[in-house]
Every structure is written in C-alpha cells, then in structure tokens.
Structure 1
C-alpha cells in the first residue's frame, strides 16, 4: 500500500452536489427477515414443482414461452436459470431454428415471443417467420393492425434484429405505427404498449424493469400469485443485499478522501453503484459489483480531471504515468525463455511505476496513488497487467479529447467515434468485470477476452452515443465542443435536431451489431460476461434517456434509485 499524499485545495465544483450523503447511506436498514428467506425457499420449490417437474401441467408452447417471459420480467430469471435454459433448448429443438415457418397455425404473438426469447438467449434463429404475415406485395396483413398482443410481441422482437434482417426492420415500423394509433383498448394493455413505445424491453435496465413489471403484473387478472409473491420477496431480499454492498463502497469512497480533496469532480459513488447494479445485480456477484463501482467512481473523477480541471501539460504527465508499465524485460527475459509461468513473467515484467508521481501536481498524485492502490488490491498477478493496459488506453483517449477541447477542434464524426467508443470507458468496466468474475485468469480466459472485442466495442459505443444524446447541451456550455452531435452538425451543416435523429439511428445500428456479437460469442449458451456487455448498454439508456443522469441526476433518476436501492415493495398479504 502506498502512503496517501496531503490534501490539496481545488477549484469550486462545476457539477451539482451529491444528493446522497455517506451518513444517509450508513443509516439504511439492511436486515431481511429470516421468515421471509424461508418463504422464498418454499415458493421456489412450489414454482419448480408446479411448472417444471409436473407431468400433468401440460403447458402448450405458447404458455411455456409466456411463463419464461413472466419469470424473467419479474426479475426471477436468475433463480430458475437452469430450468429456463432447458425449456428453451427443448423449444428450439422442436422445429429447428426457422422460428414459425413450419408452425403456420401459430399466432403472431407466439412466433414473435419465441423468436425474441431464443435470440435473447443467443440462439441463432431466423427472421423468416415475419414473411408468413405478409401478402404477395410484401405488406403486412391488414387484420394484424388490431391484434394488440401480436403487434406488441412483434414490436419487442424487432429490437433484437441484426443489420441485414430487413423483415424485422419493417416489423418495427409496422408495429410502431399501429401501436401509436391504439386508443380504445383496456388500461392494462395500454400500460404495456406505452411502456414498450417509451423504450423496448431489450434496452431496459433489468432491476428498474423488474420493479415496474411487478406492479404491472399485480394488476393482471390472470397473475400467478405464487410468482408474484416470490417476485416481491426476492426483490426486497436483493435490495437488502444491495444496501449492504452500497454501504461497503460508500465507506471505501469516504476512506479514499477523493470527494473532499478533489472538489471540482463529481461525487457520484451512489450513482456509480446504481449503474453497476444495472450491469450485474445477481447476489452471487457481490465482489464484482463492488469492484466495478470503485472502477466507475475512478472513471468519473479522472474524466473530470481531463474535462474540466487539468492543463494539457499536467494531463500529458498523468497519461504517460498510467500508460507506463515498468518494463523489466532484460532483467527477467530468462524467466520467460525458461518457460516458467507466463503469468509470473507478466507479473515480474509489467507493473505500474509508482515513482512517476513525483512529477505530478498534488491533485494528480492523490488520484494516481488512490487508483494504484485500488487496482492492486482488486487484481492479482495475472489480471493487473491486463487492467493497467486498459487504464492506459482510456487515459490516451481522454487526452485526445482534451486536446480537441483546448484547441477548439471539432473532428469529423468518423474520427470522433473511433476514439469515443474507447473514451466511453465501457472497455475498462467490462475488462474489470471479466477479471472479477473469473478469479483464475488462465491463458484460455485471456483468449476468450480477446475474442470479445466486438461485444466490448459495441457496448461501449452505445454508452458513448447515449451519453452524447443526453449530455450534449451541457458539454457545449462547459466548452467541450466535440461530441457525436456537434461533429455530425459540422460535417453535414445540419441542425442539432437533425443530428440528434442521426445519432439515434447510430444507436439502433450499434444495438444490432451488439446483439449479433453476443449470439456469435455465446452460441446458444449462457455467459455472464456477455450479459454484462448488454447490461452496460442498458444502463446507458437508463442514465441518459432523459438527460445527464450521471452528471446532473434529475427527479426521475432519483425515483429509480429509491425504488431499486432504498424503498422495499410494501408487504402484500397473499391468501
């Protein structure tokens, strides 16, 4: 552990103060009744017996699909992952992967739901089912305009399209057009329609979505009370665990002293934690979630150093220090030649050079030492070289943006995006996440990480594009001239409104590429790292859909934080 440097005075804060004090976080009630835990176990068994180990249940395909859909929307998917995987495997094997082509008697709702669930679970299914619902002119049959359930399922399915799947592109616009026209439908159906039109299910942060769906599901006349009770208890239990995690990272953040020492930077540890809950909420990934919150907190501070505080000379020094791995190749080359452990070689040859701090001003020393200590505590001899490399590349990307800002340069959109997906920090977050869920980093694990390039790139691109849409006006006010919107405006001499629409189209394209990368990476199997890549993009929509939810959290985001992290669902009496 490196000793902490003295406190330094900094400029006045640019961003609004945090709404969540350490004392408030420490005061949160984290107990969860033992009787409720026992009830959860009891309900688990009942659900499994009722639906998965009951030969007399005789669920049809569409009923089984709807059950899986309800379980996942209620936030219970992780509890029944094995059974869901087996159910979808059986469904996929019945007719191969051409969803709906042979099932001509099946409804638009059924085949659309089947496609969505299978693709979401990384099955390489075909879009050909859409053609069944078109006439000889390629237009959708008129009767579908009044099939609310089918329209909604088709619309949701269309958001899992690949770029080349034109039929699903048509389906999205057909669904959107006719869902917008609905008016004489029951309140429950309209609730789901409006929710989907605001943001499709596939792009929603899972815990926020689970909280919404529990309320919506409770209003359904055909709601399964077993599932509903389990969902409420499970939600509250996870929330209690998340509060304990939050208290842990809040204490860590207070101990670093960065919020008090670097008053120009955003104090956003709770918002960082909320974001990382969106990336990985499952109870078994406690260490990963806590570690990623620390990473996100450092990214926020370092981003502010490059954006609003540091001079170019100071930023050059800091970037070089983070990039500079102490290369002791000559001293230890014989270790590698003797074919001693590759990871021992990495550990001996590549380490951050802590002596670089002597060339930095105090505020950078504080940041560098805190980052150095945290990454070394979090990593191990196998992962630290991998993590250090990503931090170096992130700082390089930050530095290029700082140079653009200081020179008032607005690059072409192509040049901007080539750097921006790296500066978005998604790669740093996902690389840390990969190392934290894979404690033993083998050479095979490193190869697997290298194969995930497209997953990380398009997840990060979505983080950047969502960020730019939500923060563009505030960044321009601070003098940060380069973002996707301003670059496109200059390239094409168009208004910010036209540029925003174009950036939204880039978001749609990036989602298609990310979805395809996930299917290619997973090939029908479950993979936590691939889920994290999708969830980074989902959290980006949550944070920036209505503005800058990270730099300037509004009432909407505060309500989401309260519902996910602070306020349990009120007790409901089940008979």
Structure 2
C-alpha cells in the first residue's frame, strides 16, 4: 500500500484511477500507523508529509538512517558505513556552502548591495537538490553563486532602480558591457560585476578542462532573458498594470525555463 501511495505521486491531471489510489492509500496508511512498529511508522509518517518523489534524496537518507537504526533487524556494519558515508559527504557540502559564504562576505554584498537578501544557503540548495555526488562539487559551488546572482537581479528589479535605470541595466547584461551602466548607481554596478565575473569564471573553468566555452554564452543569454522578464514585471508595477493570468504565466515561465 505504501508503494502504491508513492507511485501515485507521479500521476498527472486526468489520471483518475491514480487520484483515487492516492486518496485511498493516504487515508488507510494514516489509519494504521499506530499499529506499526516505531521505525516503519516513522517512515510512513514522513512519506505522508513528504513523498520520496518530492524530497531531496540526501536529506531523506539522513532520516532513513535514523529509522533503520530503530529496526531490530538492522545490520550493524551496514549502519556504521552509512553513517560514515553521510558524515564524510556532509563535511564536503559544508565546505561548499562555506566557500560561497566567503565569496559573499569578501565581496561585501551586504553593504554594497544593501537591498539584496542574504540567500546563500537557500541558493546552495538548488544544486544540492540536483546532485549531492562528490564529483559535482565544483558545479554546486558555481550554480550556488549563479542562483545568488539571480536573486540579486530579482531584488534589483523588484525594489531598486527607476524604469530608465533598469532598462539600461538590462541592456548592459545583454551586451555584457559595463560602459552601458556608467551613469547608474554603484550598487547596480556591483551586481553587474558579480554576474560578469561569474560568467568569466565559468568560461575559464570550461576552457581549462578542454570543454567548449559555449557554456558561459548560454549563462549570459539566460541572465539576459531573466533580466528581460524581470523588467516586464517592473514596468507592470510602474504603470500600476495588473496582467491577466496568461500574460503573467507566460512571463514567469521565461524566468523558470531559463533558471
């Protein structure tokens, strides 16, 4: 029944049988939890709150280790290796978050971009959710910075700058030319420089590894499209215009697709 509940999470609109299966299994699993041993009850309770399909695997692993430990039939050697593996990889993830945090502090974004939110750990969760594998350590660091810079863009277009300034800023990102924003406030130049430097880092990283430099071009193009979509939202706000759902959905879709 538990497996059927998890399988039902993959349903799409119109799959009525799976919809019924989800409701049936959820109700029945909820009703029998008190009759199960603590380990199994804990796992099912967590699954009902956050099914495997919607969870971050590495975080789920930590919970499963705890549940497995409570199982009287657990294998002690396997449990010891699972704990060792988790702790070693966790230290790597902590170092990665630490390196992004050092970049944030070294760049003094909190002072120079005073309106920006400190979302370093939140930004790191994006690449961490995609892969926790040790071999993707460099990618997690870079994507964590990419998401942080996207947050800068979001805050810049939401809470700072006039329409004229934001349009110039968008043009600068399109051309990756800082001369376009020579007349703009210093904080916007800091955001632009952060994006430009990160694109240069990615280009250097890919070319040094003997790979195509097209990756950085795609990143630049994606930043421009995101800035363009944020600019549309800024214009709506400036003009006190309330878009219809299809307009908003189309514009927000551009942001999500590029991210």
Tell me the TM-score normalized by structure 2: 0.88
1:366 aligned onto 2:178? no
Aligned partners of 1:291 and 1:183: how far apart in 2?
Answer: 43
Unmatched tracts of structure 1, length 5 or more: 1-150, 325-351, 429-575
The equivalent of 2:258 in structure 1 is 427
The equivalent of 2:210 in structure 1 is none
Aligned partners of 2:241 and 2:77: how far apart in 1?
Answer: 59
- Aligned counterparts, 1:106-505, within 5 A: 151-163=1-13, 165-182=15-32, 184-186=34-36, 187-324=38-175, 352-379=176-203, 380=207, 381-424=213-256, 427-428=258-259
Q: What's the offset of the Cα at 1:183?
A: 5.1
Could you say which structure has the greater relative contact order, defined with CA pairs below 8 angstroms and 6 or more residues apart? 1
* Greater helix proportion: 2
Q: What's the offset of the Cα at 1:156?
A: 0.5
Q: What's the offset of the Cα at 1:266?
A: 0.4
Aligned partners of 2:125 and 2:217: how far apart in 1?
Answer: 28
| SS, match of residue 404 in structure 1 | helix
Change (3 A) 1:184 1:307: same
Aligned partners of 1:242 and 1:181: how far apart in 2?
Answer: 38
Query: In the TM superposition, what whole-angstrom CA distance separates every residue of 1:136-190 from its partner, at most 9, and x where no partner exists?
Result: xxxxxxxxxxxxxxx2110011112344544322211221222233354123332
Quick check: 1:158–1:169 contact (8 Å CA) kept in 2?
A: yes
Aligned partners of 1:264 and 1:254: how far apart in 2?
Answer: 15
Unmatched tracts of structure 2, length 5 or more: 208-212
Quick check: 1:390–1:427 contact (8 Å CA) kept in 2?
A: yes
- Aligned counterparts, 1:76-115, within 5 A: none
Aligned partners of 2:4 and 2:33: how far apart in 1?
Answer: 19
Quick check: 1:317–1:359 contact (8 Å CA) kept in 2?
A: no
Quick check: 2:43–2:64 contact (8 Å CA) kept in 1?
A: no
Aligned partners of 1:408 and 1:213: how far apart in 2?
Answer: 50
Query: In the TM superposition, what whole-angstrom CA distance separates every residue of 1:404-437 from its partner, at most 9, and x where no partner exists?
Result: 223333322222111113224x633xxxxxxxxx
Aligned partners of 1:376 and 1:389: how far apart in 2?
Answer: 14
Aligned partners of 2:33 and 2:178: how far apart in 1?
Answer: 64
Change (3 A) 1:241 1:357: same
Aligned partners of 2:237 and 2:58: how far apart in 1?
Answer: 37
Q: State the aligned residue count.
A: 250
Q: What's the offset of the Cα at 1:236?
A: 0.4
Tell me the TM-score normalized by structure 1: 0.41
| SS, match of residue 7 in structure 2 | helix
Q: What's the offset of the Cα at 1:261?
A: 0.6
Quick check: 1:188–1:219 contact (8 Å CA) kept in 2?
A: yes
